[in-house]
Structure 1
């Protein structure tokens, strides 16, 4: 038996006329998906040409970007081996990764004034004298001659030893590299981890392993007679001259305060004005229009622009940051609040109004209970978002950790410190995101 239901021409005609929109779609609806895909491809092609994406990738400094990325999870010791009086003398960068009298296992000064730099193993090392540098790559020696005006690599040198103008670069991969110049050898020796992250070289805890640090902290023999060893350890950690933990943590706290205070002030400002903007609460169209346009003005100017404006007026610091967050969020929250008020259930208002209550009482008991969970939920979301935004506006002078982050990036050599601050920001955003989500879920749950 056939399962196909046969219909006559009359029924078919009736179905076609009754459901013409379904059975006879316009051509643009039938071909909407292919047309959309073609339009997307054409648009992406236009963007590729208009924004010079190809040349930008071709001209990108990928090798430099790779070095910066390595700096996020490793550190570089950067001695300059200078030639003077027939000897080689090591001078160091200002980060102070080693004490002045430290014995460094990969940097050895010999009695004849020469110096050996080891890159991971004895097979990869430099033998440095004022007139000749011998680069050992995989155990094979390659003599680099130092002249008055130029440094010359041997003609049969491998790719790791290359001529770069008047200097020679010896590349040992992740272990580091050396630039041999006429008056010095600039060494970059790389190690995994962050150098002196917990304590700098001035601390009595420097160079100790975690177990030794704990033992010294619990020891009855005090390092500083005026305070306990535990307090000394905390002070040395916060006062780390290289990593500046105390300053960074205070700037992070400043960023959180900026986000909280700015959001709180915006909430308190937008809450009453939203009642004026809502058409079902305030029955004056000109007043509604004027208040909504005020909200549009405040939120149409980006937070970063407000931060630049207030920084010029008040100088750098948290006040411009708080003001920028306040102005932007006051407009955005005001609009959201007004839309929520315009969608309340009027039956509760009418019920309170029927007993002769004043308008303020009607709004207090007939409107606020309906919208308060939504208001608080939106404010929590903005607070969470502003925790991230406060970092960005801090970079333009509004204070907080954003300014500290910009300073570290500006040095072009503190990318490990940049990574440290980025991880702190990520941790804080993660924590506040979960707190905000939990609070919003509870509020929305109670509202149903």
Structure 2
């Protein structure tokens, strides 16, 4: 090949690479442009509701106290989050509510609400809003001038939302909502003798023989249902454990059928590999829906869905690990007169076991997260409680509680699987 020919070939090659280098970014840019237009990214700003987002975030670390008056009977009920199981006993309430013939609600900062036959809200910087609800309507009277943005009024309904709280008046009901920081009633409900006690006082009761009663009141908390929540966490972990290790047990013998060096007949290898493709080709959520129709809801259905999906995944990984074993070690074991099972036990498994254990433990950690979503579909585990709390759109602090527990569970499984990998594979308990 002459120098001129070589030079021309080199120029053509550089030209081709240059075109490729320019074409790839252009294709990616065209694809991103299509996504931008197709998904209407430009209109996203118009669909975002900042107020809803702010309310959602604030609900995650606060709670509402409801002070509600039945306008027909005049009775007043005070409860946390408006729930009967969080209701104050008759004649009692928080210190910012003064019960009497006319109930006074002090929201702080000069915001004062009076409940009675005539209800009123004295709003600092605006004035006094009064209403006398009856069968004809709310009959509200406002200070002169246009209504401010924080007041939404009609004939049968008035809603006032200020930084201090929210006040709603209808013909049948007048209700005050006051937000406070924290997760109220998290430890004990209002009917518990330990409600309102500090840590030192609780320790004093515990050391005088009431430890079991304290734990029982916490565990059976009707508002936060700690006992049900931790049982749901156990169900989620059980789904992940049964599904992952069940899949490993099923996939290991089938992997020998798919390994070229252990199954000479191609038809068996083909059948085993296509079965693995089918099992892992169907997503775990699809298996969950199918199995829930066949076996009904429950944690076992979720475990079976994980088992089917991971059997296909493990089968592929295990068969590839078996195909990469060192034949010399097997031949050495065979030369000692070992039987077939002994050759597998001492010649094959020591080589593949670290890879197998590492993958199984990793998938156990991953399936702990997946079991949350699967549980939401099959009706089991913490996923069910999470979707129920989200569906109510009321107690987002409970949603936060469940999410925190899920994160802690995943972190615990990550730590446990890492320790097991060091212990079983490298024999190092300290991680050094």
Aligned residue for 1:78, secondary structure, equals strand
**Offset from partner CA, 1:211-230 (integer Å, 9 cap, x none):** 111112222xxxxxxxx300
Please point out which of 72, 75, 85 is paired with 1:84. Answer: 72
Aligned partners of 2:423 and 2:403: how far apart in 1?
30
Aligned length: 420
Match in the other structure for 2:127: 141
Deviation at 1:323, TM superposition (A): 1.0
Task: Tell me if structure 2 keeps the 8 A contact 1:151–1:167.
Answer: no
Question: Is the contact between residue 70 and residue 173 of structure 2 (CA under 8 Å) also seen in structure 1?
Answer: yes
Structure 2, unmatched stretches of 5+, are none
Alpha-carbon distance in structure 1 between the residues aligned to 2:8 and 2:192: 84
Counterpart Cα distance in 1 of 2:102 and 2:149: 25
CA distance in 1, matches of 2:214, 2:77: 31
Q: Does 1:261 align with 2:242?
A: yes
**Aligned position for 1:390:** 371
Q: 1:42 aligns with which of 23, 30, 43?
A: 30
Do residues 311 (structure 1) and 292 (structure 2) align? Answer: yes
Determine the C-alpha separation between the residues in 2 that align with 1:237 and 1:28. 72
Partner residue in 1 for 2:205:
216
CA deviation digits over 1:310-354, x for unaligned, max 9?
222222222112211111111111111111111222222333344
1:290 is aligned to 2:271: yes
Task: Report what 1:103 is aligned to.
Answer: 93
Structure 1 unmatched ranges of 5 or more: 1-9, 220-227
CA distance in 2, matches of 1:366, 1:19: 56
- For the Cα contact (< 8 Å) 1:316–1:398, is it kept in 2? yes
> CA separation of 1:358/1:285 partners in 2, compared to 1, >3 Å: closer, same or farther?
farther
CA RMSD of aligned residues (A): 2.8
CA distance in 2, matches of 1:41, 1:115: 65
Hey, what's the Cα distance between the residues in 2 that align with 1:19 and 1:362? 60
Judge conservation of contact 2:243–2:306 (CA < 8 Å) in 1: yes
> Residue 133 of structure 1: CA displacement?
2.0
| Counterpart-to-counterpart distance in 2, 1:164 and 1:428 | 49
Query: More displaced, 322-331 or 123-132?
Result: 123-132
C-alpha deviation, 1:144, in angstroms:
4.0
Q: 2-side partners of 1:372 and 1:202: how far apart?
A: 56
For 1:185, the equivalent position in structure 2 comes to 174
**How far does residue 306 in structure 1 lie from its aligned partner after superposition?**
1.6
Matched, 1:380 2:361: yes
Q: Structure 1 residue 63: deviation in Å?
A: 2.4
TM-score normalised per structure 2: 0.88
Q: For 1:113-132, what aligned pairs fall within 5 Å after superposition?
A: 113-121=101-109, 123-132=110-119
Alpha-carbon separation, structure 2, partners of 1:354 and 1:38: 61
SS of aligned partner of 1:58: helix
Q: Give the Cα–Cα distance (whole angstroms) in 1 for the partners of residues 319 and 358 of structure 2.
A: 15
1:231/1:20 Cα in 2 relative to 1: closer, same or farther (>3 Å)?
farther
What is the 5 A alignment of 1:314-329?
314-329=295-310
Following the alignment from structure 1 to structure 2, what is the Cα–Cα distance between the partners of residues 288 and 415? 52
- Helix, strand or coil at the partner of 2:71: strand
Any residues of structure 2 matched to 1:159-170 within 5 Å, and which? 159-163=149-153, 166-170=156-160
Q: For the Cα contact (< 8 Å) 1:405–1:418, is it kept in 2? A: yes
Structure-2 separation of matches of 1:46 and 1:95: 52
Deviations 1:260-287 (A, max 9, x none): 1221111111111111111111111110
For residue 410 of structure 1, what is the aligned residue in structure 2? 391
2:103–2:114 Cα contact (<8 Å) kept: yes
Distance 1:164 1:346 in 2: 85
Query: 8 Å contact 1:142–1:157 — kept in the other structure?
Result: no
Match of 1:350 among 331, 340, 344: 331
Q: Is the 8 A contact 1:151 1:168 kept in 2?
A: no
Q: Distance in 2 between matches of 1:186 and 1:60?
A: 29
The counterpart of 1:277, out of the listed 235, 241, 258, is 258
Deviation digits for residues 352-375 of structure 1 (CA, Å, limit 9, x no counterpart): 344554443333322211111000
The equivalent residue for 2:60 is 72
Residue matched to 2:317 = 336
